[in-house]
Structure 1
């Protein structure tokens, strides 16, 4: 083979390799462009002022999960147009809730070696009022109807309620004094009129009735119970079994909650139920999928909750009375709170 022939073969090989590389780049760009186009077809998110005291009708605030520069920011939409354009605040939260102009925002602080977490109390303009370090991964957050109390739950070991190998820590803070009960497990537990003591008690999922009374889940001995808490007497009284992540209705008469059902997968054990506090009658909602969330009452007859979605979670809604059907409320959103 002559030197000229070898050079010709080498040149052809270089040209072919270049063509293949160019084609690969163009194909990748085309696929990326398609993905960008698909993301562009999601909810419109724009920056703007977000207030926890809306002046233009009732609003819904969520943790925005739509892909883009405002992912994980608190964003708001009109309550009657949840699929409309979102106004992003710039404030990022893992868990969030708000009432009466007070917000509780559970945040991650990213470090060089590991993440830490904190609870930040926000004013109506989403400015920080006070912060508290928390000892684990944020999972639940609630504000009392008056805005005077905030509560949060974190995992201090484990990261799922589905099994039994986890431990939680739940705290309540008075925003008027910044006094904190940093572990509700220190409250006295009353079961059937008798004091109950156990080393394996876990408390999570606070929902407030007022500035003294609340409801929560108490777990012990492999079972869960609905408890009514009293901050003045520092007591927890068991009311009903097999209740997790309770949510009190606005009129104070019912509790929405996730309930373990027989025959379900151990990894997806819960269905969404409603308990009448007067009769203790349970009603299954029309949502038949696994719900691992603390549901929110949109009003006295409608529940909102998160289910897995393409970008993390979507919000769904279902009637609280047991009829109707489950419907999508918002895509790419979690941690809702109604304002106004």
Structure 2
């Protein structure tokens, strides 16, 4: 496949973030607060440059749920086009008007992944949860991620990619369902990890050893790094972050779907990570599990395939 100019535009942002990191590091010990603020502004500018202008990107604020509960402070918040302009300066943002929220770190450590994962669960718990489709049950309407310029694992024997994956996988393993998990971790000089949900794993299509009534729900972090991209010169963690973010936002905003599909076709270079599963009966209510089972049983019999449409809320692969 020929090299795409879109990828070159995004790779420049990786270079910019590296330059900014080196500049900020010169005075981070003298003024860590301002250094952190500058790092957050770097990422906010990336998002402002690549998301539709109808979305507003702000820094530093808390998110409030419909019941009055609040999140801790969040570094960068992406607001929906419908957000009331009068409330933009309040630094308290209504959960129903938030499309995405990000924690930002200049240098990511393992503890930052744990802290961001806890914040993700709290933020996603502020949304009014719906139960009409597998996507609504398994995927929160607010996207949450952790963004970093660089990472702390720089010794000769460090396995930086493995360290991030291990931290994320440990959190998934300790979770009872995928709803509150982080959607993204992007380290600009290392890679991007994107959450991927499988809404239904059964004996008809996936695992012949699974008896009826023992279907599964799955989750894995797909990885884009220099290891997973065939041509390392084309590799850009920021490109994979923007591709994934456009795709997830387009689930709730149809106007973004065409451009999200274009980015996917032109740029995506990701590899599947370790798949964790839960019994579907532990994630879905009894009534909804039966509804999902009947849906896929019927589609198997009549040859219909919701998996061919990535925007279908019954698709078994929910990126």
Q: TM-score range by the shorter chain?
A: under 0.3
* Structure with higher strand content: 1
Say which structure, 1 or 2, has more relative contact order (CA 8 Å, 6+ apart). 2
- If you compute each CA radius of gyration, which structure gives the higher value, 1 or 2? 1
Return the TM-score normalized by structure 2: 0.27
